[in-house]
Structure 1
């Protein structure tokens, strides 16, 4: 059992230390240009269609939530009929 633990530790260490580091492109300058340009769009929609979809879904859920809260308040404000 102990032999297997040592072997596993050596394999894990070898794969971590011998892996080639990947070069990741820095995308921050392109995103800064996109979000700082003055094109008349609100900043929460400059990310594209994904941002627009998330915005609309959030607004839809907010409207439904407010409607449900108002319904529950109206229902709670009137006394229940006892049979």
Structure 2
């Protein structure tokens, strides 16, 4: 809702806004004007802008898109299993290090005099 200052009372009073529909006309559609010498890009043909996809990569993409119960991060085979296991081990070692640090800071060693 729009407001306008009332000249008699000096307060804000609601006003009606006239749009082209309430006036009786129709709104004009915006027009796009291109400058002189403007040229549009040509359409790409073939397999897109980047060229042909190598056959090895295409077969790998198809293997990842096949529906199966294996999670995507494990579809690479034994290498992915080894990487996942090493990630879990490193996370466990880091978590154990955090707990050791918290324990050492909670119970500091007594200073010898």
Regarding TM over 0.5, the answer is yes
* Match 1:73 to one of 102, 105, 108: 102
| Cα displacement string for residues 21-72 of structure 1 (whole angstroms, at most 9, x for unaligned residues) | xxxx531211111111111000000000001001100111111111111111
User: What is the total number of aligned residue pairs between the two structures?
Assistant: 59
Max Rg structure? 2
Alignment of 1:1-83 (within 5 A): 26-83=55-112
TM-score (normalised: structure 2)? 0.49
In structure 1, how many angstroms separate the alpha carbons of the residues matched to 2:57 and 2:75? 15
Q: Which runs of 5+ in 1 are unaligned?
A: 1-24
TM-score (normalised: structure 1)? 0.65
**Of the two structures, which has the highest relative contact order with CA contacts closer than 8 Å and spacing of 6 or more?**
1
**RMSD over aligned Cα atoms:** 1.2
Task: Give the number of the structure whose residues are more often strand, by fraction.
Answer: 2
In structure 1, how many angstroms separate the alpha carbons of the residues matched to 2:102 and 2:108? 12
Task: Give the number of the structure whose residues are more often helix, by fraction.
Answer: 1
Q: Which runs of 5+ in 2 are unaligned?
A: 1-53
